[in-house]
Structure 1
Amino acid sequence: MQSTNSFSSYGSIAKTFHWLTALLIFTALPLGWVADNLAHAVLHSATAPTELEIARAARVFSLHKTVGVTVFFVALARILWAFTQTKPGLLNADNKPEAFAAETVHWLLYGSLVLVPLTGWIHHAATEGFAPILWPFGQNLPFVPKSTAVAEVTGVLHWLFMWVLVVSLVLHVAGALKHHIVDKDGTLRRMLPGLSDVPEPPHQTHSLIPAVAALVVWGVVVTGGWATGKLTPNVGEAPDVQLTEVQSEWQVQNGTLSITISQLNSPVTGSFSDWTAAITFDEPTEPGPAGSVDVTIAISSLSLGTVTDQAMGPDFFDNARFPTAQFKADLYKTENRYEARGPLTIRDKSIDVVLPFSLDLQGDTATMAGTIELNRLEFDVGTSQPTEDSLGFTVAVSVELTAARGQ
């Protein structure tokens, strides 16, 4: 059997690409459906999910993503190979409407095989947490920022294009069966392994009109998603608790307050967008007391990728009952650094902690950076996850800020 295409038949390489793609698609689609249901049960459960439930959902989602990325690369290779080959003619080219429909569906399939996994991959790269791709090349994509808006839009596009793919697949399979059972021609046989005795296709020319029709279909789908509001990012909503500005000797000009957890042995980083700090500080000439700080954090302002909603739940931060966290500390200068010492209150637990930090003082402007590691179980966070199989005990909290002395 020849490896390349001819006007009347497909070569072995094209057939291999075809059936490999089919195998991957019919693996990825059910995996995605099962994974979505498992993840929904975990993230929106009325009770705290068990470690086994979380691990199962993450495992299936990781398999779905890994197969999806494989589809992307196989589809690209298949398309590139097709561009180098003779395109076998349609056996029903004389039936213009049917031939037009067949070529349009082929364009929809080719495009969907790239768009569906690509939008899913971008969605994965733009967010944090839950189910890594099972490969050693990292989880991020160049030029794709960690962005809730990007993740939401590409997530919806992934869902919309998935339905285009499903409908195209149904039409493609139905067309193949129609050729084989009703028309009894060799359309399906010439894509099967081995040699097939099929008639020579009639003379025909191929135009770009079916490709344009496929573009119109994708345009209608995207426009419909935009018109219904599905493609409008749901960002910028006011948090449940909005903190008011505090009066302080030092006013925070800018800063970040972030946390990093370990989920399934992979780091997931998020940050709080709403927090205040009332700071008093006078640089001592010798090690000793240097001032105080009172930090209040709006828990609902946390963005933690795909597990943000879960983090707000009763088994974790329980934002409904404990909308804020607080750190009231005295500031000290030591021999070689600075420390903030005092109680940190999360949920209904207060524990004395020491936050070491560096300080760069330039006149009336101070820049600090510090990191502390906490044990989530000491604050009754995630007690339904008593081991580190799915969620690590250690939570790294990092703060960086620049403050100016008030006049």
Structure 2
Amino acid sequence: MSVSNTARSYGTVTKTFHWLTALLILMIAPLGMIAHDLPYGTDAELAQKAFLFSLHKTLGVTVFFVALARILWALGQVKPGALTAPHSAQAMIASLVHWLLYISIVAVPLTGWVHHAATSGFAPIWWPFGQDLPLVPKSQSLAEVTAVLHGLFSQIMIASIALHVAGAFKHHLIDKDATLRRMWFGKTNAAGLGGAHGSWRAPVAALAIFALTGGIGAAVALVQSYDTAAPAQIALEQVSAGWTVTDGQISIGITQLGSNVQGSFTDWTAAINFDPAATGIAGEVSTTISIPSLTLGSVTSQAMGADFFDSATYPTARFTGAIIAEAGSYTADGVLAIKGSEVPVRFPFDLTVAGDTAEMSGTLTLDRRDFGIGASMADESSLGFAVDVTLSVSATR
């Protein structure tokens, strides 16, 4: 049996690529569906869900590279002619299905991979590469768009596979020709009638289908993102104090299933009264944070749930305390209220004052258990206890 294709038969390499791709897809598709529907309310449930998603993603990256290798190999190979009449409707449909499959085995894993790279956290890829991709920023909107495209392109792939399999069995059982046999291993020679494979209409139609689906999917994802995010936001009251915050960020970092996940709150206020010349108690600060404004990678929606921040019941967090200046060091000493729990907190920070402008930054490590967050996850195998909080603020007097 020839390694390369001939005008009458497929070679060993082409057949190996065909069946390897089919095997991987038959494994990946059920894994994704099962993992998507699994609950994640407990440590064991989350670990199982993450394991299946990691397996799904890892095999998906494998399919991507197998597909690229298959396409590169096919570019240099003769393609045996179709066994149906050239330019017949059946030949054109078969060619269209083949092109849909070629595009989907690249587009489906690629959109899934970009989705993974655009967010952070849940279910890492097991290859020693691929957690991030060049030119792919961490972006919630990009992650949402690629998630929708991944789902839509997967449906095109599944439909194309169903048509491909149906066509193969039609050839084998009804037409009784060698279409199916010549893709299996062994020597099979069957003169093709030719013609259909060279038509430009099938690839153009396949590309048009993906382009149209992608455009509609991206638009729907952006609309859904806007509609979903809008009701969750709350309006914080404006504050007035001796210092006005001009810029700043409140970020948090957690560890989930061994992976670091970074997030930030986009909506918060701070009322600051502070005398840079004073020592001891030099001022006071009151900060209110909108919990629904948090973005936390792929686990944002999970973080809003009742077992975590429970943002529907407790939409804000608040820190109120005194600013203490001692020998050039600064500490905010007060109480942090999250999810109905009030915990004493000492927050050391660095401060630089130049005239009427102040720059401060600091990092604090909290224990999520003190606030009843993630109570169902009693150990750190799924979710670490430590939550790193980083604050940076620019303010003017």
TM-score for both structures, normalised by structure 1? 0.92
Report the equivalent of 2:266.
Answer: 273
Match of residue 168 from structure 2: 176
Equivalent position to 1:243, from 223, 236, 243: 236
Structure 1: gaps (5+ residues): 43-48
- 1:257: how far off? 0.6
User: Paired residue for 1:259?
Assistant: 252
1:233-257 Cα offsets, whole Å, 9 max, x none, are 5135254421022001111111111
Taking every aligned residue pair, what percent have the same amino acid on both sides? 52
1:246-279 deviation per Cα after TM superposition (whole angstroms, max 9, x unaligned): 0011111111111111100111111111111011
Counterpart of 2:26? 26
Q: Deviations along 1:309-350, whole A, 9 cap, x unmatched? A: 221222211222222111112112334532111111112221
**TM-score normalised by the chain length of structure 2:** 0.95
Q: Which residue of 2 aligns with 1:88?
A: 80
Provide closer, same or farther for how the CA distance between residues 123 and 92 of structure 1 changes in structure 2, counting only shifts above 3 A: same
Letter paired with 1:297:
I
What is aligned with 1:357?
A: 349
Distance apart, 1:189 and its partner CA:
1.0
Could you tell me how far apart the structure 2 residues matched to 1:138 and 1:375 are? 31
Match of 2:376 in 1: 384
Give the letter for the 1:395 counterpart: V
How far apart, in 1, do the equivalents of 2:157 and 2:194 lie?
Answer: 30
Asked if 2 retains the 8 angstrom alpha-carbon contact of 1:254 and 1:402, the reply is yes
Report 1:136-285 matches (<5 A): 136-196=128-188, 198-204=189-195, 206-225=198-217, 229-230=220-221, 232-235=223-226, 237=230, 239-284=232-277
- Find the counterpart in structure 1 of residue 17 from structure 2: 17
- Size of the aligned set, in residue pairs, is 394
For 1:209 and 1:95, the matched residues in 2 are separated by 10
Distance across 2 between alignment mates of 1:190 and 1:328:
75
Partner of 2:116: 124
* Higher mean C-alpha displacement, 273-282 vs 310-319: 310-319
Cα distance in 1 for residues equivalent to 2:94 and 2:232:
50
For 1:295 and 1:389, the matched residues in 2 are separated by 32
Q: Which amino acid aligns with 1:111?
A: I
**Structure-2 change in CA distance of 1:138 and 1:226 (3 Å):** closer
Task: Answer yes or no: is the 8 Å Cα contact 2:80–2:194 preserved in 1.
Answer: no
Q: How far did 1:224 drift?
A: 4.6
Report the Cα offset of residue 385 of structure 1.
0.7
1:284, distance to aligned residue in structure 2 (A): 3.0
Partner of 1:295: 287
Instruction: Indicate the residue corresponding to 1:104 in structure 2.
Output: 96
Which of 50, 59, 63 is equivalent to 1:67?
59
Residue type matched to 2:193 in 1? P
Number of the residue aligned with 1:402: 394
Pick from 326, 332, 335: which aligns with 1:334?
326
Say which SS state the counterpart of residue 141 (structure 1) adopts: coil
- Deviation >6 Å, runs of 4+: none
Q: Distance in 1 between matches of 2:122 and 2:218?
A: 27
Deviation of 1:394 (Å): 0.3
Q: Check whether the contact 1:372–1:397 (CA below 8 A) recurs between aligned residues.
A: yes
